[in-house]
Amino acid sequence: MDYKIIDYDDQYKEQVIKAIDQGYKDLGYTQVELDSLDQDLNDIQNYYARPSIFKLIFIKEELIACYALKITNQEAELKRVYVKKNFRGQGIAKKLSLEAFDYAKTLGLKAVQIWSGTLCKEAHNLYQKLGAKDSKQQRVLGGQDNVIEKHFVKEL
């Protein structure tokens, strides 16, 4: 599969929001909540400014995936991992997660935190296959769907 990975640029903002919104709906959530749970999507450029990263994956002109790694105070959190439904099962999320882990390693970080909605069971399986440990912690984000997230830690 011939795809390109690029750094986020604001010209893609609406495409990113639409894609993540569809990803939520595919999982059974209602929608993106830009006024509360998903405020980072209102200003992706600044929220994920270096050393954080937000990457977009295109096939031709079609946005098929994205991921982000938020870096704060020598802590890394894998966020916004999304693969369009008809491209899942092809190893894209695995490749993106490994790329994020490698990037965190180059920054000298020792671990990557991963918070993932409880409905994201395929993602949880992937993270564990990649060596992330289920910390058994959960947090309630709330919102329209009363979102609850599970916590995983990937030691680097």
SS3 of residue 152 by DSSP? strand
**pLDDT at residue 85, rounded to an integer:** 94
**pLDDT at residue 1, rounded to an integer:** 67
Which letter, b or e, does each residue of 54-72 get, where b requires 16 or more Cβ atoms within 10 Å of its Cβ?
bbbbbeeeebbbbbbbbbe
CATH number at residue 134: 3.40.630.30
**pLDDT at residue 2, rounded to an integer:** 84
Q: What is the pTM of this model?
A: 0.96
Amino acid letter at 86? N
**pLDDT at residue 44, rounded to an integer:** 98
pLDDT in tens for each of the 156 residues of the chain? 688 999 999 999 999 999 999 999 999 999 999 999 999 999 999 999 999 999 999 999 999 999 999 999 999 999 999 999 999 999 999 999 999 999 999 999 999 999 999 999 999 999 999 999 999 999 999 999 999 999 999 999
Q: In the chain, how many H helices and how many E strands?
A: 4, 7
**pLDDT at residue 119, rounded to an integer:** 95
Counted domains in the chain: 1
What residues make up the domain containing 10? 4-155
Amino acid letter at 94? K
